[in-house]
């Protein structure tokens, strides 16, 4: 399996490389580099950081989904931002899963296995379900300020 990790944090790049030693791990430190990789190389999944300089992960995600190459690739967002509004944005823009940093390696492997094993139809259904759940949680967060 070939995985593209997009993160400006070198430690995360290294950790993912070590965690996914059975995978061919490609690395991009920013959104433009990631889009350049995807134009040339088909990958089985993208691990995408949200907070990056120049272009944030949501913008990269929208570019991936709107592009010609890799528009269907499973995308797992990796981020320290944990607010439900961000989850809503991610699922609305087409993310398949969302891992909040710091995440465990088992969690990462499980998320990857899950998103890469789903059919396109199942992924669409799962995304709609996650979006609904995130919208509900965002309303609760907004109402109670938690």
Output the CA angle 15-19-24, nearest 5 degrees.
Answer: 100
Q: How far is the CB of 128 from Mg ion (least distance, A)?
A: 28
Nearer to Mg ion, 63 or 118 (CB): 63
* 139-145, long-range: CB < 8 A, 24+ apart: 140/84, 141/83, 141/84, 141/85
Q: How far is the CB of 119 from Mg ion (least distance, A)?
A: 31
Nearer to Mg ion, 49 or 130 (CB): 49
Q: Which of 20, 37, 49, 86 binds Mg ion (CB under 5 A)?
A: 49
Q: Which of 29, 51, 126, 137 binds Mg ion (CB under 5 A)?
A: 51
Q: How far is the CB of 32 from Mg ion (least distance, A)?
A: 15
CA pair distance 97, 114, nearest whole angstrom: 9
Is residue 51 within 8 A of residue 6, CB to CB? The reply is no
Is residue 80 within 8 A of residue 103, CB to CB? The reply is no
Q: How far is the CB of 1 from Mg ion (least distance, A)?
A: 24
CA pair distance 58, 77, nearest whole angstrom: 9
Nearer to Mg ion, 35 or 131 (CB): 35
Nearer to Mg ion, 52 or 77 (CB): 52
* Residues found near Mg ion in the complex (CB under 5 A): 8, 49, 51-52
């Amino acid at each position: 399996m070939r995985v593209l990790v997009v993160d400006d944090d070198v430690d995360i790049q290294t950790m993912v490389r070590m965690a996914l030693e059975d995978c061919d791990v490609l690395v991009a430190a920013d959104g433009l580099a990631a889009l350049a990789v995807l134009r040339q190389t088909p990958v089985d999944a993208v691990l995408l950081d949200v907070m990056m300089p120049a272009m944030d992960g949501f913008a990269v995600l929208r570019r991936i989904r709107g592009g010609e190459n890799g528009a269907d690739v499973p995308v797992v967002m990796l981020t320290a931002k944990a607010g439900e509004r961000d989850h809503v944005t991610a699922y609305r823009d087409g993310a398949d899963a969302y891992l909040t940093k710091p995440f465990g390696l088992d969690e990462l492997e499980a998320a990857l296995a899950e998103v890469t094993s789903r059919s396109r139809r199942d992924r669409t259904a799962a995304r709609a379900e996650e979006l609904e759940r995130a919208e509900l949680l965002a309303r609760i967060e907004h109402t109670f300020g938690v």
